[in-house]
Amino acid sequence: RHQLKGTTTEVIEIIPPYVQTHLMGEHQANDPNAMPLDEFITEVMDILSNQPTVEEVIVERCKPLRFAAESGNMDTMFQTLNPSTSR
């Protein structure tokens, strides 16, 4: 963003959740905990269509993690993502 400031290039950050793709192998592509790719694409395109000036696209599934610090839920989110870690 900083390098493109003052140019006509627009940068939109898209924050992806864990998505069902073959990027990390067959397990990810079939993992029920991963967001189906078509749902992710549909939600991103809907956000871009309805909010054309948005600088950051955050699908609903990503919001709890994205805003964990701001909402005071960082410890809870950490434990959710790392259930075998005890404090």
Reading the chain (87 residues) residue by residue, the pLDDT tens digits are: 789 989 999 999 999 999 999 999 999 999 999 999 999 999 999 999 999 999 999 999 999 999 999 999 999 989 888 888 755
Torsion sign, CA atoms 29, 44, 5, 69: negative
Written as six digits, the tokens of 69 are: 């610090």
Torsion sign, CA atoms 19, 80, 71, 68: negative
CA atoms within 13 Å, Cβ hemisphere of 44 = 18
Where are the strands (E) in 1-87, listed by range?
13-15, 19-20, 35-36, 56-58
Model pTM?
0.80
Which pLDDT value is given to residue 87? 54
